[in-house]
Amino acid sequence: MSEKTIVTGRGWQLPLFVILLCGSLIVALSFGVRSAFGLFMVPISGELGWGREVFALSIALQNLLWGVGQPFAGALADRYGPMRVILGGAMLYAAGVFIMSVSTTPLLFHLSTGILIGFGLSGTGFSIVLAAVGKVVAPEKRSWALGIVTAAGSFGQFAMVPLGQSFLSAYGWQTAVLILGFTSLAMLPLAAAFRGVGERGLGGPASTQSLGEALREASRHKGFLLLTAGFFVCGFHVAFIAAHLPSFVIDRGLDPRIGAWALGLVGLFNIIGSYSAGVLGGKYSKKYLLSTLYVLRSAIIVLFISFPMTEMTVLMFAAAMGLLWLSTVPLTSGIVAQVFGPKYMSMLTGIVFFSHQIGSFLGVWGGGYLYDTTGSYNVVWYCSIALGIFAGIVHWPIDERPLARLSPAKA
């Protein structure tokens, strides 16, 4: 079989670039559409007479339920294949966006934006797609492939946030959200690329390990626990900035379009950052790269809040943070696959990602709550700095060597 052709199961053969393209488009749509939601906080809260905490709580619920559903979606993908999980997730996702466009009460907004989209993301997000790609790509190419797919998520942010702002300016928030809902439906046909993907990757024979054994093994592995703790910080950072940066910019008297372009710029520069992280992760220690990324995030935030805010400083912050934005994803998921193997990669990555989403919940909701109670985002920025330093420390002692059972002699 050619290295450029992948047999995903049931005789279904696809060129590698097609699998990577479809996976990349799924995460670009899934991540890109939701990245535009931060643009709607001020217009929706203002028109419907809500405080920012209502909108922030919905996004926080979305992040939390995305994380809650991720291990279960991962287990289903490991058992029945990712195609079915992606299809189910895409339908929930689109339904949530459509209902969001007609939500006029906090309860309905929480149901659509928080619950439906949150569980929809569990089936269409990075953990499912990256694990599916990781199972069909040779181990020596895995980090590179994960970097490509993660970079695609950033391209989705770069493309969808400015588009969302254009739709918002031209048609108002309800029609703009409706357009995003139709856009999300494109994930359904793309899921076919993963038809038949099972437990066997190209890295060696399938493991006989059971689900329970995999969970017990991971829970006893110190590196897995440290990786899970560190990924909490990533969620806190990206969710807070994605949801509140546009409002932060408006509060400082800048044009709302600057906030939209800042989020778009984050996505643009993270295309570079994510791909570079994937390439570097195949050559150097992933844990040391992660430690460096988190400490650099803290340094960038310190600089951002220490100088007077101008359009230039906002865009410079966005570009610098963009290089580090999702660069953690291919490295984190790469460590999971490297240490534990690809069989239960979806589920184990989902557990790590659940910690990410707890951080996301606190970052989004905490930002809204503290803004409403103190009139400022200062406390959240300070927490972000401290957490980045914490993450830099906890990744350092991770043992990222493959477990003994994965050695050729044990296979």
Q: What is the DSSP string of 294-363?
A: HHHHHHHHHHHHHS---HHHHHHHHHHHHHHSSTHHHHHHHHHHHHH-STTHHHHHHHHHHHHHHHHHHH
Provide the 8-state DSSP code for 112.
I
The answer, yes or no, to whether residue 3 has pLDDT greater than 60, is no
Q: Is the pLDDT of residue 403 over 70?
A: yes
Cβ neighbourhood burial of 100 (10 Å; 0-12, 13-18, 19+): buried
Q: What was the pLDDT predicted at 66?
A: 86
Query: What is the structure's pLDDT at 228?
Result: 93
Whether the pLDDT of residue 10 is over 70: the answer is no
Of the two residues 137 and 240, the one the predictor is more confident about is 240
Q: Please tell me the predicted confidence (pLDDT) of residue 5.
A: 57
Poorest-pLDDT segment among 21-30, 201-210, 296-305, 324-333: 201-210
- Determine what percent of the chain is predicted with pLDDT higher than 90: 28
Question: Does residue 42 or residue 170 have the better pLDDT?
Answer: 170
User: Given this model, what pLDDT does residue 204 score?
Assistant: 41
Q: What is the pLDDT of residue 200?
A: 45
Neighbour count for residue 302 (Cβ, 10 Å)? 15
pLDDT of res. 193: 85
Tell me phi and psi for residue 14, to 5 degrees. Answer: -140, 145
pLDDT at residue 202 is higher than 60: no
User: Quick one: pLDDT at residue 4?
Assistant: 60
Q: Which residue has the higher pLDDT, 288 or 200?
A: 288
Question: Quick one: pLDDT at residue 198?
Answer: 59
Per-residue model confidence (pLDDT) at position 201? 42
pLDDT-derived band at 137, boundaries 50, 70, 90: confident
- pLDDT (mean) for 298-317: 92
What is the average pLDDT score of the chain? 84
**What's the rounded mean pLDDT across residues 12-22?**
79
Supply φ then ψ for residue 396, to 5 degrees: -60, -45
Interval 249-302: pLDDT, tens: 888 888 878 887 887 788 789 888 888 888 888 888 999 999 999 999 999 999
Angle in degrees, CA 237, 239, 244, rounded to 5: 100
Q: What pLDDT sits at residue 8?
A: 54
Per-residue tokens: 333? 């998921």
Alpha carbon 51 to its chain centroid, in Å, reads 27
User: What domains are there in the chain, each with its CATH number?
Assistant: 9-406 (1.20.1250.20)
pLDDT number for residue 12: 58
The DSSP H or E segment spanning 199 is none
Mapping DSSP to helix (H, G, I), strand (E, B) and coil, where does residue 21 land? helix
- The answer for residues whose C-beta is within 8 angstroms of residue 314's C-beta and 6 or more apart is 249, 254, 258, 259, 262
Indicate the length of the chain as a whole number.
Answer: 411
- pLDDT score recorded for residue 2: 44
Residue 233 reports pLDDT greater than 90? yes
pLDDT at 407 over 70: no
Region 206-219: mean pLDDT is 77
pLDDT value at residue 294? 96
pLDDT of residue 199: 43
**Coil, strand or helix: which one is 15?**
strand
Please tell me the least confidently modeled range out of 81-90, 140-149, 197-206, 215-224. 197-206
Instruction: Looking at 36-138, list the stretches that DSSP marks H as alpha helix, in order from N- to C-terminal side.
Output: 41-48, 52-80, 82-100, 106-109, 117-124, 126-136
pLDDT at 189 over 90: yes
Higher local confidence (pLDDT), 70 or 386: 386
CA 96/CA 406 separation, integer angstroms: 41
Reported as a pLDDT band with limits 50, 70 and 90, residue 121 is very high
Q: Give residue 6's pLDDT band: very low, low, confident or very high (50, 70, 90).
A: low
Q: What is the mean pLDDT of residues 33-62?
A: 81
